[in-house]
Amino acid sequence: MNNQTEKVLDFDECITFLNKKGKELFGLKFFIDPADYEVVYKILIYIIKDERNAQRHKISLDKGIMLSGPVGCGKTTLMNLMNHIIPVANRYIVRSCRLVSYDFISQGYDAIHKYSYQSFKNNKKVVTPQAWCFDDLGTESSLKYYGNECNVMAEILLSRYDLFIEKDMVTHITTNLVAEEIESFYGVRVRSRMREMFNLISFDRNSKDKRV
């Protein structure tokens, strides 16, 4: 007899919950398109740590999620929604890569440390790792701080990789970029580490823009 409790995903119940929460957060017109159910299902498997189905779909429960797809397909919305299924203590913070780059302009290299560790608690610096979801990777630009140019997200991802290896700290990402664009923007080293850090879950490249 197996003494381990197997986690069973009630997909219909999860969809009902996500649609209800989505209407609360994003307006009464919100609904999850049935065309996106496969993407939602894979993320839910990851979120609830369903080991059996994760193996079937080649999803590592130790890695983070890189959610890829065209503009307007619902990547950001979905990652925000999933935070309401995760226990509060395990939730990630969603932050636009564009805003991360603006933080670099105002804070300099402290911003890179900020997104590698939870930098402040009660106005004091601490070094407790924090799970982040970096939204819209590729929308930021290489910026200068006192004349020094920096590929901010490349540096942050390299720091997050170290945390992943040393402390099992996951990172999540949403992006419109394909693999070749990631390598072009951030370099071979970052792309190689991203393969190790993330489960790639993708919307259909022909997925419609839900903002229209």
- Domain total for the chain? 1
Round the average pLDDT of the chain to a whole number and report it: 86
**Number of CB atoms found within 10 A of residue 164's CB:** 21
pLDDT in tens, 53-91: 999 999 999 999 999 999 989 999 999 999 999 888 778
Would 49 be classed as within a structural domain? no
Would 22 be classed as within a structural domain? no
pLDDT in tens, 156-192: 999 999 989 988 899 999 999 999 999 998 999 999 9
Would 195 be classed as within a structural domain? yes
Would 45 be classed as within a structural domain? no
Would 99 be classed as within a structural domain? yes
CATH number of the domain that residue 90 is part of: 3.40.50.300
Would 9 be classed as within a structural domain? no
C-alpha torsion sign, points 98, 101, 106, 112: positive
**Per-residue confidence (pLDDT) for residue 124, from 0 to 100:** 56
Would 44 be classed as within a structural domain? no
For residue 95, what are the domain limits?
A: 61-202
Helix ranges restricted to H, the chain: 11-26, 37-47, 51-56, 75-82, 97-107, 110-116, 152-167, 179-186, 188-197
Would 211 be classed as within a structural domain? no
